[in-house]
Amino acid sequence: MNCSTLIFSAHRNQQRPIKLIKLKRMLSNGGMLERIDSFLSNILKTVNESVPRRVIRYREIVSSGVYSVETVGGGLHHFDPQEVKKIGEELPSEILDQLHLPFIFVKNTELEESVYLIRVYGSEVEAFQKLMNVKTLPRSSRGPYTYKPLVAEFINRYPSLAVMGYL
């Protein structure tokens, strides 16, 4: 039986072609959709391995002298002490008191291609605005966001103070 015969053959007791019955079986009970979903979940886990397990306050980094934080993947994200010192000189103390590092920029499939959400734990939005000389940031239902060129420029200026994730 060739492929075209299979497509147009009908099951004796049913009106649906055999091909559709096989497709339905494939899509249910551990079928194709589940496999694709599992595959995509594994890719996202790999992409998000560099995201910190928890963020750490700027003041805690400076006082403890520990310039790293554990990542979701079990590794360490290291902060460059010079970059930490640099933002300490560029930002006012009221922002530094509430600032958590690293900055986390999240790509979300529901938003435009060049849009990145900024994860907020404290004063990250105010710090980003001040460091990038931006008056305001747009907001979506998921929080404040910025655009790819600003994210790229931020990472260029402070490479160890930012990570990117994917939703």
Instruction: Give residue-wise pLDDT tens across range 67-93.
Output: 999 998 899 999 999 999 999 999 999
Taking alpha carbons only, the member of 82, 80, 86, 132 closest to residue 102 is 80
Strands 162-166 vs 103-107: parallel, antiparallel or unpaired:
parallel
Q: Which residue has the higher pLDDT, 57 or 108?
A: 57
Radius of gyration over alpha carbons of the chain, in Å? 24
Instruction: Give residue-wise pLDDT tens across range 89-112.
Output: 999 999 999 999 999 999 987 878
Q: Contact at 8 Å (CB) between 34 and 28?
A: no
Q: Which residue has the higher pLDDT, 25 or 164?
A: 164
Question: Is residue 123 scored above 70 in pLDDT?
Answer: yes
Q: Which residues pair with 68 in a beta bridge?
A: 78
**pLDDT attached to residue 113:** 82
Instruction: Give residue-wise pLDDT tens across range 10-40.
Output: 334 444 445 555 555 555 555 666 776 666 6
Q: Which residue has the higher pLDDT, 140 or 123?
A: 123
Q: What does the alpha-carbon distance between residue 67 and residue 58 come to, in Å, rounded to a whole number?
A: 10
**pLDDT attached to residue 109:** 77
Structure tokens at 126: 């105010």
Q: What is the DSSP letter of 137?
A: -
Question: Is residue 41 scored above 80 in pLDDT?
Answer: no
Domain boundaries, the chain: 14-48, 51-166
